[in-house]
Structure 1
Amino acid sequence: MITPQYCQMMARYNAWQNHNMRAACETLTDEDRRADRGAFFGSVMATINHILWGDSLWMSRLDGGAGPKVAAKDHKDLCDSFAQWATERRVMDQRILHWANTVTEPQLQGDLHWHAQMLNADMRKPMGLCVVHMFNHQTHHRGQVHALLTGFGKTPEDTDLVLMPEEAQWL
Structure 2
Amino acid sequence: MRPGCSSPTTVHYGSAYGGNALLGKIAHALRQASYDGWRSGRFLAEQFMLLGIVDTHTGRTHHVCGGFPSASGKTNLAMTLSPDALGDRYRVEFYGDDIAWLWVGNDGRLYGMNPENGVFGVAKDTNETTNPAAIDAIRPGSGTIFTNVAHNARTGEVWWEGEDTPPTRRH
Q: What is the TM-score when the length of structure 2 is the normalising length? A: 0.27
Compare the two structures and name the one with the higher strand fraction. 2
| Greater Cα radius of gyration, structure 1 or 2 | 2
Q: What is the TM-score when the length of structure 1 is the normalising length? A: 0.27
Compare the two structures and name the one with the higher helix fraction. 1
